[in-house]
Amino acid sequence: MSEPDADTLDPTSLRTPIVAVLGHVDHGKTSLLDKIRGSAVIEGEAGAITQHIGATAVPLDIVSTIAGDLVNPDDFDLPGLLFIDTPGHHSFTTLRSRGGALADIAILVVDVNDGFQPQTLEALDILKRSETPFIVAANKIDTVPGWNVNEDSPINATYEAQSDRVSSRLDESLYEIIGNLSDEGFSADLYWRVQNFQRNVGVVPVSAMTGEGVPDLLAVMMGLSQRYMKEEMEIDVAGPGVGTVLEVKEEKGFGTTIDTVLYDGTVRADDQLVVGGQNDPIVTDVRALLQPRPLAEIRTESRFEKVDEVSAAAGIKVAAPDLADAMAGAPVRVVRNRDLAEVVTEVEAELADIAVDTAEQG
Ligand code: GDP
């Protein structure tokens, strides 16, 4: 059989991969997300970057502007990357989809000076068990003594600008991380030496402070997704939406709302939903779909703006009656033309899975 021709695939049916950031406390998870968000905002001044509820979408054209020569947009048909804004292990393990991790791909942040720490090992264990593909961001390269900063530069350019002493000092730290990964059963190497990212973990030296290596990090994430995860990203975009609750929140004027990451299909403002609850599945009707309003408009208006529909992958706040019992990590499913009882059964099964996993984790 021949491979399907990429040109015949409907690009609108390919969704954005969902990216999670993990790592030991203080190794720079939040700073890295802030840096990526910040770079994307600057590059996409016209507002091409969209702030979602609980997530940040970085579209392909912005990835390509940040990554420069490292990403030619013509080589990709995935629409970009969606970063979950809350980094850390707790959110990673509670956020699930159909029995797996909600995140399609992960960045494990390791401080080059501090190396492997208890939560680094814990994160590796979580990634291994959930079979989530990941890359390692070897962060804080700017703290190597004598480092010559080249803001936002790709790694090879800034490497060339370092003295031999500085670059060999960085190499030592990087090889220690590669050795630690190998001790944990992961064959790893500096990302530019990796041929097959399914077999080997790529290590990307970065600085969340100076932006050095961030072009490489985005390029590797984009390349890895395109090469190995494209099939999983094929969705029925117009179909009934499927997502996971990030957080249950009281919102003035809207009552209890659920911040949700949608990973399949579309949710519309007039849809009926089934949401996982602490006891039973909740059957409810969407009252409003809410997205953050651009900062400039917040002074005069509510923080949120109502939208008619949202398609995966996206972060969205859903206001609906009877959500008080909804829980973080629970499934959300749109009913639309489907049989309500069938959707309820699916949600019940997913909730039972979550209960088993929670018990196993003690
Ligand atoms: P988290 O706990 O993993 O989210 O770590 P943070 O992002 O809060 O970072 C912890 C500390 O390390 C903060 O003081 C950051 O400013 C600092 N930091 C993070 N990344 C870098 C980096 O690349 N270079 C330097 N010099 N400092 C960094």
CB–CB of 235/265 below 8 Å? Answer: yes
Average pLDDT over residues 203-211: 98
Average pLDDT over residues 21-33: 96
As given in the structure block, the two tokens for residue 360 are: 């196993």
Query: For ligand 1, atom 20, which residue shows the shortest CA distance?
Result: 28
State residue 11's pLDDT score. Answer: 43
DSSP structure class, residue 310: E
Cα gap 320→323, rounded to integer Å: 7
Asked whether the predicted pLDDT for residue 302 surpasses 80, the reply is: no
State residue 94's pLDDT score. Answer: 82
The pLDDT mean for the chain works out to 90
Among residues 183, 82, 210, which one has the least CA distance to residue 201? 183
Q: How many residues does the chain have?
A: 362
Element (H, E) at 127: helix 118-130
Find the 25 Cα to ligand 1 centroid distance in Å: 9
Among residues 315, 311, 325, 237, which one has the least CA distance to residue 280? 325
What are the beta bridge partners of residue 202?
A: 189
Q: Is the CB of 208 under 6 A from ligand 1?
A: yes
What ligand 1 atom has the least distance to the C-alpha of 139?
A: 23
Q: Is the CB of 29 under 6 A from ligand 1?
A: yes
Average pLDDT over residues 143-169: 97
Cα gap 98→147, rounded to integer Å: 45
SS3 of the chain: helix, strand, coil, percent, to 5: 35, 30, 35
Q: Is the CB of 139 under 6 A from ligand 1?
A: yes
Find the 357 Cα to ligand 1 centroid distance in Å: 32
For residues 296, 301, 306, 307, the Cα torsion angle rounded to the nearest 10 degrees is -30
pLDDT band at 300 (very low <50, low <70, confident <90, very high): low
pLDDT band at 48 (very low <50, low <70, confident <90, very high): low
- Residue from 25, 31, 85 to probe ligand 1 pocket by mutation (most atoms less than 8 Å from CB): 31
pLDDT band at 98 (very low <50, low <70, confident <90, very high): confident
State residue 319's pLDDT score. Answer: 97
CB–CB of 249/300 below 8 Å? Answer: no
Find the 107 Cα to ligand 1 centroid distance in Å: 15
pLDDT band at 6 (very low <50, low <70, confident <90, very high): very low
pLDDT, tens digit, for every residue of 240-268? 999 999 999 999 999 999 999 999 999 99
Find the 26 Cα to ligand 1 centroid distance in Å: 6
Cα gap 93→100, rounded to integer Å: 9
> Residue 339: helix, strand or coil by DSSP?
coil
Please give the span between the terminal C-alpha atoms of the chain, in angstroms, as a whole number.
47
Average pLDDT over residues 217-243: 94
Cα gap 274→268, rounded to integer Å: 14
State residue 89's pLDDT score. Answer: 86
Average pLDDT over residues 301-305: 81
As given in the structure block, the two tokens for residue 250 are: 């009281």
- Residue from 21, 22, 25, 26 to probe ligand 1 pocket by mutation (most atoms less than 8 Å from CB): 26
What ligand 1 atom has the least distance to the C-alpha of 25?
A: 2
pLDDT band at 360 (very low <50, low <70, confident <90, very high): low
Residue 54 identity: G
Q: Is the CB of 207 under 6 A from ligand 1?
A: yes
Among residues 329, 266, 318, 345, which one has the least CA distance to residue 102? 329
What percent of the chain shows pLDDT beyond 70? 90
Angle at Cα 302 formed by Cα 81 and Cα 257, nearest 5°?
65
> Residue 123: helix, strand or coil by DSSP?
helix
pLDDT band at 44 (very low <50, low <70, confident <90, very high): low
pLDDT, tens digit, for every residue of 64-77? 999 999 999 999 99
What ligand 1 atom has the least distance to the C-alpha of 23?
A: 3
State residue 12's pLDDT score. Answer: 54
Cα gap 123→101, rounded to integer Å: 13
State residue 362's pLDDT score. Answer: 45
Q: Is the CB of 26 under 6 A from ligand 1?
A: yes
CB–CB of 261/243 below 8 Å? Answer: yes
Find the 139 Cα to ligand 1 centroid distance in Å: 8
Cα gap 84→98, rounded to integer Å: 18
pTM of the entire predicted model: 0.92
Average pLDDT over residues 331-349: 97
Cα gap 268→249, rounded to integer Å: 20
Find the 158 Cα to ligand 1 centroid distance in Å: 20
Find the 30 Cα to ligand 1 centroid distance in Å: 7
Asked whether the predicted pLDDT for residue 3 surpasses 50, the reply is: no
Among residues 228, 138, 218, which one has the least CA distance to residue 175? 138
Find the 28 Cα to ligand 1 centroid distance in Å: 4
pLDDT band at 358 (very low <50, low <70, confident <90, very high): low
Asked whether the predicted pLDDT for residue 348 surpasses 50, the reply is: yes
Find the 91 Cα to ligand 1 centroid distance in Å: 19
Is the ipTM higher than 0.90? The answer is: yes
Find the 144 Cα to ligand 1 centroid distance in Å: 14
Which of 124-128, 217-221, 260-264, 290-294 shows the lowest per-residue confidence on average (mean pLDDT)?
A: 290-294
Q: Is the CB of 140 under 6 A from ligand 1?
A: yes
